[in-house]
Structure 1
Amino acid sequence: MTVAPKRPAAMTLAAHFPERTQAEWRELAAAVVNKSRPEGEQLDPDAAVESMRSHLPGGLVVEPLYTRADEPALLGVPGAMPFTRGRALRDADVPWDVRQLHDDPDAAATRKAVLADLENGVTSVWLHVGADGLAPADVAEALADVRLDLAPVVVSSWDDQVGAAEALYAVLSASAAGSGNLGHDPVGAAARTGTAPDLAPLAGAVARLADHGEVRAITVDTRVHADAGATVPDEVGFALSTGVAYLRHLEAEGVSVEEAFRHVEFRVSAGADQFLAAAALRALRRTWARVGESIGVPERSRGARTHAVTSGRMFTRDDAWTNILRSTLATFGASLGGADAITVLPFDTVSGLPTPFSRRIARNTQILLAEESNVARVTDPAGGAWAVEALTDEVATAAWSTFQEVERAGGMVDALANGLVAERIADAVAERDAELATRVRPITGVSTFPLAGEKRLERRARRELTVSPEALEPHRDSAVFEALRDRSTAYAARHGHAPRVAVPLLDVPRAGDRRVDAVNLLTVAGIDAVDAGEPSEAVLVAAGKGYEGVTPGMDVVDFLSSLLDVMGAPA
């Protein structure tokens, strides 16, 4: 008879540590915080803990310590309500769909790039169609080498969604096993172009796909809101409201709620805050499942399909190589959050159309994380972590509040028309711009650690999209600093050299460090720092214990802009 081995006793890793109370921890934390503070500026425990809290856009708060008291009442499991932990269990061999974007209007070049991507690890194709992408008539040629039974294909468009959908449908309908998404998102298109949304094509698109079970009709693309400056909770809230608008319309056209629900896929942005990106995806699934529950969708069909795209708002033109680091963090966060598909934008995407090398880096960012770091071999690996669960709850609660506000305003279509969406985004942009200008929210390689003498990347320009004044325009975080550098570049073109500012060495403690800070500050705007006595157009005036303007919390954009004004740099 075989005797089963005895199970080892549970490991009690913290058994030999003495128990501590919250009050004791707060006292210890205050002691550490106060080590670097002058005698008269010591903080009490409450103030010390407050100084360690992180405040994220959208009213989110990250505590310095999470304990078992923050454990969720119901953690749940993947594939079941509340779907926080995933739409389904992950396949360890195919962890997520590696989806590459193609927006080159040259059909032959796109065809070649699509094939190269698929041969080197990409698992699905995303074609952007329209005035700023591929022409609808060229979709078939771009996909000519794609095995449609192996690689799903999705399309997007801001100005010709019907044309893009028709072109893809013609290709997929010729394949017995094609899959993908036709990309209908009239509300998103209206937001991006500043036009009125036309929901009429939705019902027909759903009806014609009745015999194409692996093809969906609708993509709720909230990158338009995120790229314009929306906070993460608002992006999720707008996603919910847009999805509900489509469900209402389809139900009114005779489509069952379960069938309508099946056709909706969400395309959302993923930023460099990896835990916030994960929390956003988890919160989106939870809240969308709640919508499904409230309208009677069977539980098995309530899981949201999600496509995460590295945030265009975080990408920089200057020191573009740093975008690779941002994308890696965003991809890791999207993986933690259980995205069904992930797209990494090439690091040079701001400069123009990507090169084969930058597309390779983009796809390999995903492949290395998935296959070599093994990050994707566990479903919802952050599930149960008190900090992640608390942040997920915060995002879900704030997003639901935004969703309710939009619904009270008449729904997403009315909220776009009456300016509610634009107003919320404008408020978020103003708050974020203030943090960027004071470097409370630094941008590596741009507002901090700038690269002096950088040679700008040269790429083929993208075609521009014509929009109305009411459109939600993309708002990259680094744009205001890049504008300062552009002024210095224009000055150099006129005078034969960059603007120069003399930085004298002060006779004060840590003078060398302070001078380095001043030099780095000037480099942010592309201004050359020179020693006192050398030819210069201005002098950084010594003031008190440092340099004028080089102080914590200063508005560096305003300071540098004023300095360029003094030197006569073109505005």
Structure 2
Amino acid sequence: MASFFLPLFPETDKSAWLMQVQKEYKPAQAGEDEYESLRWHTEEGFTLEPYYTANDLTEGPVTTRSLETIQAVQKHSPGWLNAPEWIVSDEKSDNSSLRDVLTRGADALVLSLSTQTGRHGEKLSRLLNNIKLSENPVFFRLSDDTATDFIQTLKTIAPYKLKGGLLMVAGKSTAEATRLTVDSPQFRTICVSSHVFHNAGATATQELAFTLASLADTYDQLTDSGLTIEQLVPKTILSVSVGTSYFMEIAKLRALRVLLSRLVAAYQSSSLAFFIHCQTSTFYDAKATPNTNLLRATTEAMAAVIGGCDALTVHPYDSVLGTPATGDNDMSDKGFSARIARNVSVLLKEESYLDKVADPSAGSYYIENLTYSLVEAAWTLFLTVENQGGFAKAVASRFVQTEIERAYQAKVDAVRNGKVLVGVTKFRFDEPSTQTYNPLTDQTGLLPDRRLAAVFE
């Protein structure tokens, strides 16, 4: 049988493919180089080829050794936690909805708490009634640096080994919160997020480099407080936004694990017990046609799980409109959008079987090259930040802000020059608004919280 089919599929190499391109390509203008026109010059600063072969994993910049290094540090166990986000407003009614969500596909919860709920034991007890944190991980977003008080309150309500963690920027109380939860190794108290960079318009390279630099600053502070790197790594969450550039985002997450391994090696450690939480991007969401956000979220979710996330939060497609999502029992559109968001993860598991294999993109000629390029570009930028004295000093000198602003303006210019935003600049069924977008109105801290589509809506 094999000998019967063999003549139908003769072996070809890259040179044969290039000859065919030269034969069939019709240039848009005289003198245009057919091959060069097919190459992708990314906003990250490197060039991607239109076609890769097995030789590109051994004869190009990616060596056998670097390929083995990339693959060795990826996640080795398949699957992820489906972790929908919930903005807590009424502890009693929210508790009922949350318990319902856990029976309808959610594996974990992300809860955004007010300071009052976080510090008030009775309110927190009412919210978590019959939700056992030793079985269902719960990740908490706190509105301010009250981690120590919160952990003390939480441990009186749930006096057992906790699962989940804190999805908040590390602060003064992080070290003590880490010590208080040493008996709960699966409750992570150190969080560094890429969202602030992503939502300001950073490239994938910048997002990786500045997130890593922020983590390095955090680790320096925590080791100075007496904690060791072996204590810190298993307690660390990297919370990452995943955008619409499908293959780039897969490679971004794989590159992140390589960069983390390099960072801990600088601390003379080999621990790689990092936990990566991903959430679908709000930067690329559109208010003009919110239904198109469902398409974006699905692509972003696939990239997140193929890239190796440990937990995934899919935002409802209409969350950009500002009304918090509610439960399945709510018959409004909000109840529908929350259910659809949660079911994206369910479908990727139950129908696409993406939870059956770890690192499914390993060995892809294209993605391995893309991962390598991102690692090297991000590491170079990270070292630039470190040479300036670290992340805090790079922010104080406005290096970080200037670099991201340049990247954001390049994204806006690309759309103005014809790049399509589905439902915004094309395939839109209403009249575009004349509203002028001022990013300063969305300023939250040192970097603006933006949406790319807002300029054109």
- Alignment TM-score, normalising by the size of structure 1: 0.70
Deviations 1:231-263 (A, max 9, x none): 111111112111111211121111111112221
Alignment of 1:146 with 2:138, yes or no, is: no
How far residue 62 of structure 1 moved from its aligned partner, in angstroms, is 2.8
User: Which of 156, 166, 183 lines up with 2:167 in the alignment?
Assistant: 183
Deviations 1:489-533 (A, max 9, x none): xxxxxxxxxxxxxxxxxxxxxxxxxxxxxxxxxxxxxxxxxxxxx
Partner of 2:38: 52
Partner of 1:97: 81
Partner of 2:75: 87
Partner of 1:438: 417
Alignment of 1:411 with 2:399, yes or no, is: no
1:89-238 paired onto structure 2 within 5 Å: 89-90=77-78, 95-130=79-114, 136-137=119-120, 138-157=123-142, 159-162=143-146, 166-167=149-150, 169-172=152-155, 174-186=158-170, 199-238=171-210
Q: SS of 2:188's equivalent? A: strand
Contact 1:172 1:179 (8 Å CA) reproduced: no
Q: SS of 1:428's equivalent? A: helix
How far residue 13 of structure 1 moved from its aligned partner, in angstroms, is 7.7
How far residue 74 of structure 1 moved from its aligned partner, in angstroms, is 3.8
Partner of 1:473: 448
Q: Distance in 2 between matches of 1:15 and 1:292?
A: 51
Aligned residues: 434
Q: SS of 1:228's equivalent? A: coil
Shift in CA distance, 14/266, structure 1 to aligned 2, threshold 3 Å: farther
Alignment of 1:29 with 2:21, yes or no, is: yes
Q: Which range moves more in the overlay, 102-111 or 394-403?
A: 102-111
Q: Distance in 1 between matches of 2:24 and 2:114?
A: 57
Contact 2:317 2:337 (8 Å CA) reproduced: yes
User: Which of 390, 394, 397 lines up with 2:376 in the alignment?
Assistant: 397
Contact 2:83 2:311 (8 Å CA) reproduced: yes
Q: SS of 2:447's equivalent? A: coil
Partner of 2:289: 319
Q: Distance in 1 between matches of 2:456 and 2:93?
A: 33
Deviations 1:78-112 (A, max 9, x none): xxx6566623322xxxx211111112433344323
Which has the bigger relative contact order, CA under 8 A and spacing at least 6? 2
How far residue 266 of structure 1 moved from its aligned partner, in angstroms, is 0.2
Shift in CA distance, 221/172, structure 1 to aligned 2, threshold 3 Å: farther
How far residue 469 of structure 1 moved from its aligned partner, in angstroms, is 7.7
Percent identity over paired residues: 27
Partner of 2:425: 447
Q: SS of 1:405's equivalent? A: helix
Q: SS of 1:308's equivalent? A: strand
Contact 1:53 1:62 (8 Å CA) reproduced: yes
Q: Which range moves more in the overlay, 431-440 or 9-18?
A: 9-18
Rg larger for:
1
Partner of 2:350: 371
Partner of 1:294: 266
How far residue 398 of structure 1 moved from its aligned partner, in angstroms, is 1.2
Q: Distance in 2 between matches of 1:467 and 1:452?
A: 25
Q: SS of 2:451's equivalent? A: coil
Q: Distance in 1 between matches of 2:201 and 2:125?
A: 35
- Alignment TM-score, normalising by the size of structure 2: 0.87
How far residue 376 of structure 1 moved from its aligned partner, in angstroms, is 2.2
Deviations 1:311-357 (A, max 9, x none): 11011111111111111111111111111111101100110122221
Partner of 1:428: 407
Q: Distance in 2 between matches of 1:380 and 1:468?
A: 37
Shift in CA distance, 342/415, structure 1 to aligned 2, threshold 3 Å: same
Contact 1:241 1:403 (8 Å CA) reproduced: yes
Contact 1:230 1:425 (8 Å CA) reproduced: yes
Unpaired runs of at least 5, structure 2: 326-333, 433-440
Contact 1:75 1:384 (8 Å CA) reproduced: no
Q: Distance in 2 between matches of 1:472 and 1:429?
A: 11
Q: SS of 1:181's equivalent? A: strand
Shift in CA distance, 281/386, structure 1 to aligned 2, threshold 3 Å: same
Partner of 1:496: none
Partner of 1:252: 224
Shift in CA distance, 84/268, structure 1 to aligned 2, threshold 3 Å: farther
Q: Distance in 2 between matches of 1:16 and 1:427?
A: 51
Contact 2:76 2:359 (8 Å CA) reproduced: no
Q: Distance in 1 between matches of 2:444 and 2:275?
A: 33
Partner of 1:266: 238
Q: Distance in 1 between matches of 2:387 and 2:226?
A: 25
Shift in CA distance, 362/203, structure 1 to aligned 2, threshold 3 Å: same
Contact 2:167 2:237 (8 Å CA) reproduced: no
Q: Distance in 1 between matches of 2:6 and 2:73?
A: 27
Q: Which amino acid aligns with 1:28?
A: Q
Q: Which amino acid aligns with 1:426?
A: E
Contact 1:282 1:338 (8 Å CA) reproduced: yes
Deviations 1:393-418 (A, max 9, x none): 11111111121111111111112222
Aligned CA-pair RMSD: 2.8
Q: Distance in 2 between matches of 1:126 and 1:11?
A: 56
Contact 2:67 2:368 (8 Å CA) reproduced: no
